[in-house]
Amino acid sequence: MFLPSLLIICYNLCMQKSNFSFATTKLIAIFLSVCLLSGCTKPAGLTSVTRDDLLGTAITISIYDNVPDRLFAQCFDEIAAIEARMSVNRKDSEISLLNENTGGAFLVSDNIYALLQRAVYFSGVSGGAFDISIGPVMELWRKDGHFETLPSPKEINEKLAYVGYEAITFPGSNMVSMEQGMRLDLGAFAKGHALEVVRDILLENGVRHALLDFGGDIYTIGEKPDGSNWRVAIKTPIVGDNSLVCVIEVSDLCVMTSGGYERYFEQDGIYYHHILNPATGYPAASDLLSVTVISAEITGADALSTAGFVLGLEQGMIMIDKLEGYEAIFITSAKEIYVTAGLKGKTTLLNTGFQLKGN
């Protein structure tokens, strides 16, 4: 795939970053077609800052307006605060404290209260395919924060008894209650929430053109400085294949992807990935390689991409079609790409090994 590689290289040159690596990003490469036209000069007013010590991924904020440096610091401070509240890898996070205080009502911050209500809403919408109470089973698969351990069927069955979002209730203002032994894991939408918060900070500060890349999950503010849409490419969702599979045009939208190839381990020739089916406790085994959700509602898109991946093509498509403001790209194991109605005609195939269906 010469052309996409060239475009990524152009993009990186334009960003003038030394510590940005597509190998470390999750799955989407972005390119700016403006680079090709302009001979890769740095767009006027562009400032780009990357950090790779937050949310377990590389985060790049690229702003095409003149803004003070403190705006970048404010965004990264906010991401750090979100991580400190939501991470299950930190014993002192609000979610970890909640997990240690199940079996009764527990007082949480406004922020976590609102987020948990949204999570329960998306669990219902997805019929439980997205379920933040996956924690007890997820902890069996994870060691020291790394997804790497194959639990026994007995262990999985024991812990599955504690999974079920219906048992998360809100008995009073800022009160959350769960049954004893339940544990939350917000990994499926923490990044979406952080992206949404940063988007809002930038909009409040008058930013009109920006590209936010949170480990391959993208939000585009406004159009490109030349007035055209951003072109966001999706990586081929296959382990070891770094080519791009298709590209879509967006502005003021996020592009959030979930795929089994993002985090996995191999044991005895079998790949185990990190998106679990809450009904079985095992990695979701649908007919999909990845699901990308496009929306202005970033936290929801993050939850729905995880849910869609668990549900599979048919049920995932039905779920997205029912919801206003969300579009999606489903890539199947048969190497077929399906898009929802709102993306038809806006998706371009880059990889001839795949087929774009019904575009």
CA distance 34 to 73: 28
The whole-angstrom separation of Cα 333 and Cα 336 is 7
Q: What are phi and psi of 21, to 5 degrees?
A: -130, 125
Which residues, including other chains, have CB under 8 Å from residue 338's CB and lie 6 or more apart?
313, 317, 329, 330, 331, 332, 357, 358
Confirm or reject binding of residue 306 to Mg ion (CB under 5 A). yes
Residue pair 210/65 in contact (Cβ under 8 Å)? The answer is yes
DSSP labels, 203-215: HHTT--SEEEEET
Is 188 a binding residue for Mg ion by CB under 5 A? The answer is: yes
Strands 336-339 and 355-357: what pairing? parallel
Helices marked H in 87-170: 94-99, 110-125, 135-141, 153-160
- The pair of three-digit structure tokens given for residue 15, joined into one six-digit string: 């960003």
CB of 103 to ligand AMP, least distance (A): 22
Choose one: 62-70, 132-140, 227-235, 295-303; the region binding Mg ion (CB under 5 A).
295-303
Answer for which of 65, 83, 94, 185 binds ligand AMP (CB under 6 A) is 185
Q: Could you say whether residue 278 binds ligand AMP (CB under 6 A)?
A: yes
Q: How far is the CB of 293 from ligand AMP (least distance, A)?
A: 10
Q: Counting contacts by CB under 5 A, is residue 302 touching Mg ion? A: yes
138 interface partner picked from ligand AMP, Mg ion, none, CB below 5 to 8 A per type: ligand AMP
Q: Any contact of residue 262 with Mg ion (CB under 5 A)?
A: no
Nearer to Mg ion, 258 or 277 (CB): 258
Whole-number minimum distance, CB 278 to ligand AMP, in Å?
Answer: 5
Instruction: Count the residues of the shown chain that bind ligand AMP, applying the rule CB under 6 A.
Output: 18
Task: Please pick, from the candidates 27, 302, 312, 319, the single residue that binds ligand AMP as defined by CB under 6 A.
Answer: 302
Task: Give the one residue of 4, 136, 187, 316 binding ligand AMP; rule: CB under 6 A.
Answer: 187
Q: Which is nearer to ligand AMP, 14 or 288 (CB)?
A: 288
Is residue 324 exposed (0-12), middle (13-18) or buried (19+ Cβ within 10 Å)? exposed
Q: Which amino acid is at 191?
A: K
Interactions with Mg ion, residue window 229-258 (CB under 5 A): 258
**Site stretch for ligand AMP (CB under 6 A), options 11-19, 79-87, 126-134, 323-331:** 126-134
Q: Which does 245 bind (CB under 5 to 8 A by kind): ligand AMP, Mg ion, none?
A: none
**Looking at 27, 310, 343, 350, which residue binds ligand AMP (CB under 6 A)?**
310
Rounded to a whole number of angstroms, the minimum distance from the CB of residue 260 to Mg ion is: 13
The Cα 317–Cα 320 span in angstroms is 5
Distance CA 213, CA 216 (A): 6
Residue type, 235: K
User: How near is the Cβ of 359 to ligand AMP at its closest, in Å?
Assistant: 25
State which H helix or E strand residue 176 sits in. strand 175-178
**Of the candidate residues 188, 198, 218, 233, the single one contacting ligand AMP (CB under 6 A):** 188
In the region spanning residues 14 to 73, those forming contacts with Mg ion, defined by CB under 5 A, are none
Instruction: Please give the distance of CA 146 from its chain centroid, rounded to a whole number.
Output: 18
CA dihedral 177, 180, 182, 183 (to 10 degrees): 80
Applying CB under 6 A, the span of 71-79, 181-189, 202-210, 245-253 interacting with ligand AMP comes to 181-189
Binding of residue 195 to ligand AMP (CB under 6 A)? no
Minimum Å distance from CB 183 to ligand AMP? 11
**What is the full DSSP assignment across 256-288?**
EEEETTSSEEEETTEEEES-B-TTTSSB--SSE
Interface residues with Mg ion (CB under 5 A) are 188, 258, 302, 305-306
Question: Where along the sequence are the contacts to ligand AMP (CB under 6 A)?
Answer: 130-132, 134, 138, 185, 187-188, 258, 262, 274-276, 278, 302, 305-306, 310
